[in-house]
Amino acid sequence: MIKIQNLTKRYGQIVAVDNIEFTVGKGEILGFLGPNGAGKTTTMNIITGYLPSTEGTVKVSGFDIAQEPNEVKKCIGYLPESPPLYTDMTVNEYLNFVSQLKRVEKGERRKQISDIVEVLGIGDVRERLIDNLSKGYKQRVGVAQALIGNPEVLILDEPTVGLDPNQILEVRNVIKNLGKEHTIILSTHIMQEVKAVCERVVIIDKGKIVAVDTPENLSRGISDSLKITITIAGPKKTVMATLKAMDGIKHVDVLKKLEDDVWEYTVDSDKDVDIRKMLFFEFAKLGYPIMGLKTEEIDLEEVFREYTTKAAGASTHGHNSPQQDSPEKDKEQDVSKEDKGVE
């Protein structure tokens, strides 16, 4: 659905996006992550046709953004970090206005807007001024304008920024439902959101892609061991001795006692060895039932820090340098001023 090859964007001597490549499959929700100034917004602006690239290609549904920009734009709905709302309009007036801009056939507008309003749950505010809506509703109206024209691809930049926990959950559920019929690129700093919504993650840092995988595989990849929490009914001393004697187990800790002779343990094992079957058969032989077992994954925030600080640590000898990122960040924020005339 989306294919990005050798994509580079330069501003003079500053390289905001540095020869990146990735694809997004049809119907996939892809998390696009990176620290401020990493090149995320620049990349999304190039995909949407708002910015030209310096080098490389972007294809959406087979159309090249440089050669067939209008065809690509028909395929894409875009929600910037700050939704492009006209607050002196009602929701209905605004969505009709966007429909005209996107050249939706006049006979189709009413039904399309009604369907979108129903999907996003904003029917009760259709006749209200946007200026009087809560931030959560404004964000939903922003998603609604992205859906006008029934685009195959949605690009959402920080769709839940500034929302309260209830509003975040509402918008997150909307995105998950939209993912059933749309290909989505989701840029966010909220790691729980990525884990809850995204099937795959691209992490970008200083204009370069530093990781591409599922959230689960990224979590496993940065650790040299696999951590398991296991609950076993049996004498603690015998259980501990059994666990420590098993091949592949590096470390065992007792977490807590749950009830008489039922204890919870944490087990660190070699990450290339799946010890779950071995645990089952070993304790079945002893007659000690396993009451619970789960694999503990490294938090996605830790994964993000690992991938986005390795390069910084190497280049700054272990010190974080705020000045290092500021030129790119400033350039990325000033994109609209420099390139607006191009579009």
Q: Look at residue 252 and tell me if it is in a domain.
A: yes
Does 258 fall in a domain? yes
What Cα–Cα distance (Å) separates residue 225 from each residue in 39, 170, 265?
32, 36, 16
Q: The domain containing residue 136 runs over which residues? A: 2-219+313-339
Round to whole Å and give the CA distance between 252 and 150. 54
State the Cα–Cα distance between residues 156 and 79, nearest whole angstrom. Answer: 5
Are 166 and 267 found together in one domain?
no
* Cβ 20 vs Cβ 53: under 8 Å: no
pLDDT (average), residues 38-53: 93
Evaluate whether residue 184 is within a structural domain: yes
189 and 156 belong to one structural domain: yes
pLDDT given at position 336? 40
Judged against a pLDDT cut of 70, whether residue 260 lies above it is answered with: yes
**Shared domain check, 209 and 229:** no
The mean per-residue pLDDT over the stretch 306-327 comes to 47
Q: Output the CA torsion sign for 301, 156, 198, 270.
A: negative
Indicate whether 160 and 18 sit together in one domain: yes
Whether 301 is in a domain gets the answer: no
SS3 111: helix
Residues facing residue 33 across a β-bridge: 203
CATH at residue 157: 3.40.50.300
Determine how β-strand 262-270 pairs with β-strand 249-259: antiparallel
pLDDT, residue 314, reads 43
3-state SS, 298-341, equals CCHHHHHHHHHHHHHHHHCCCCCCHHHHHHHHHHHHCHHHHHCC
What's the whole-number mean pLDDT along residues 63-88? 92
Nearest in space to 243 (alpha carbons), one of 298, 272, 188, 286:
286
Q: Are residues 49 and 122 in the same domain?
A: yes
Pairing relation of β-strands 14-24 and 76-79?
Answer: unpaired
Q: Which residue has the higher pLDDT, 295 or 314?
A: 295
Instruction: State pLDDT tens for residues 201-238.
Output: 999 999 999 999 988 788 777 666 678 899 999 999 99
Contact between 163 and 81 under an 8 Å Cβ cutoff? The reply is: no
- Looking at residues 192-204, what average pLDDT do you find? 90
State the chain's mean pLDDT as an integer: 85
Task: Tell me, yes or no, whether 104 and 31 share the same domain.
Answer: yes
203 and 82 in one domain? yes
CB burial readout 138-176, b (16+ within 10 A) else e = bbbbbbbbbbbbbbbbbbbbbbbeebeeebbebbbebbe
CA-nearest of 53, 47, 38, 9 to 328 is 38
Domain count across the chain: 2
Q: Token digits for 275?
A: 């010890």
Report whether pLDDT(17) > 50.
yes
Count of C-beta atoms within a 10 Å radius of residue 314: 9
Q: What is the pLDDT of residue 302?
A: 80
Tell me, yes or no, whether 171 and 103 share the same domain.
yes
Residue closest to 75 by CA, chosen among 57, 102, 110: 102
pTM recorded for the entire structure: 0.72
Quick one: 92 and 229 in the same domain? no
Q: How confident is the model at residue 192 (pLDDT cuts 50, 70, 90)?
A: confident
Do 266 and 282 lie in one domain? The reply is yes
* Dist CA 266 CA 66 (whole Å): 54
